[in-house]
Chain A
Amino acid sequence: MTTDAASVDSDFRQRVVDVMRAILANLLEYSDPITEDMHLMHELGLSSTLGLELLLQLEDRLEILIDVEKMNQDKVSTVGDFATFIAGHSRPA
């Protein structure tokens, strides 16, 4: 399931992007800038397992619950896609 970036709360989406960058930098020990168009698996080397840790840390820090069962990994491949999905498929914890 995909979500159009224009259909989600842009402020919340930006918060997700900012928190994602901080988590990814720490999780992957990645020191270069992380941009929204970066492919999580192919460019950043994010494994399935680290992807789940990313989701859990996002839930913790943003105090949300993410509808993981609706996340189609094949269609949520970049940092920006991921943030858009979360902005459109999460609720307060």
Chain B
Amino acid sequence: MTALEAVSVYLPPARIPIENLAEPLGLTEMQVRIFRRFHGLGTVSRDPEASLYDLLMKAARGLEALPGNQHRIRYVLYARTMPVVAPYPVNPLHEVCQALGLDHALAFTVTHQSCAGGLLAIDIAGRLLAADTADGPGGGQDNSAGPLALVLTGEKAFTREAKMFVDTTIFGEGASACLVSAFGTRDRMLSYVSNVRGEFDNATGKNDMRLQHEYRPSLAEVMRQALDEAGTTLDDIRVVLPHNVNLVTWQRMCLLLEIPTERVLLDNIPTNGHVFCTDMFANYMTACERGLLRPGDRYLAAAVGAGGGATFAAMVFEH
């Protein structure tokens, strides 16, 4: 069963108050006030001096289990929100692989599901490893020397569109690195459900109002489907790890799901902003740091990727 073996997150220490971004982003005073009052944004994490390579490396260097285990890494998957993050022929993913001693691994990018891409990458990583090791260890057996995949996330907020989703969120910078196995026992993935809705392409904008209307019900639907597939219910979920799109969206999700907002880990929205595909991993780390996850606890990660179409995704884990 697909499992997270280790997670590392890097968030730049600098925090920029959103008011400082008003002029460069062309925000009105009203837009800034709405971001702060209702979207719950206060600051966003940014590091103008750090390149994308720097962000990814800082996250990967935080994986204590990686040094000495490079030979076990078969795949490196880079999940990202934006389809293009560097000018040709610059390839930050390949540079990171070289620096980490992972030249032998098959490295590729997972994209076109925007901020839901991180969950997709975990699923793909587990499936690839499972297919490679079909005759390998069964669940519960020792996987201490088995093959692994490295899932990376992280992006630079380098253009206006990459800095902000108008009237919805402001992006922060950061990165994550996660080791995935096919037969692990640590954070086991019990289910994954996604719903790709190509009709919600913001390039045309013609279905924007419909997306607003269907956003929360569609996310709730995949969350419920993921719970069903995992054979569990929302009552048994210790904490929901959201994408950090904004506070009001999740307050309204909680009304729809009929759960108190305390069940959703919203701690990082006011300080980090929406860190692309990294939110789930950052929120996982916060949940661990706060002692919210004990062995056997189940948690639900949920995300929406909106842009060139919309992807609604949910994943249930057992810690």
Residues of B within 8 A of A48 (CB): 212
B contact set with A: CB distance below 8 Å: 30, 33-34, 37-38, 167-168, 209, 212-213, 248, 251-252, 254-256, 261
Interface string of A56-70 (1 = CB under 8 A from B): 100100000000111
Give complex CA distance A1, B167 in Å: 25
Give complex CA distance A73, B167 in Å: 18
Summarize B's interface: helix, strand, loop or mixed. helix
Taking the closest CB of chain A, its distance from the CB of B247, in whole angstroms, is: 8
Give complex CA distance A48, B249 in Å: 10
A-B contact pairs, 22 of them (CB 8 A): A1-B255, A41-B209, A41-B213, A47-B209, A48-B212, A49-B168, A53-B34, A55-B38, A56-B30, A56-B37, A56-B38, A59-B37, A68-B38, A68-B248, A68-B251, A69-B248, A69-B254, A71-B252, A71-B255, A72-B255, A72-B256, A74-B256
> A73 near B33 (CB under 8 angstroms)?
no
Summarize A's interface: helix, strand, loop or mixed. helix
Residue of A nearest to B167 (CB): A49
Residues of B within 8 A of A72 (CB): 252, 255-256
Taking the closest CB of chain A, its distance from the CB of B260, in whole angstroms, is: 10
Residues of A within 8 A of B261 (CB): 69
Asked if A38 lies at the interface with its beta carbon under 8 angstroms from chain B, I say no
List of 5 A-B pairs having minimum Cβ-Cβ separation, nearest first: A49-B167, A69-B251, A72-B255, A48-B212, A52-B38
Give complex CA distance A2, B261 in Å: 18
Assuming the contacts A1-B255, A70-B255, A72-B252, asked whether A52 and B34 have C-beta atoms less than 8 A apart, the reply is yes
Residues of A within 8 A of B30 (CB): 53, 56
Residue of A nearest to B211 (CB): A48
Interface string of A66-93 (1 = CB under 8 A from B): 0011111110000000000000000000
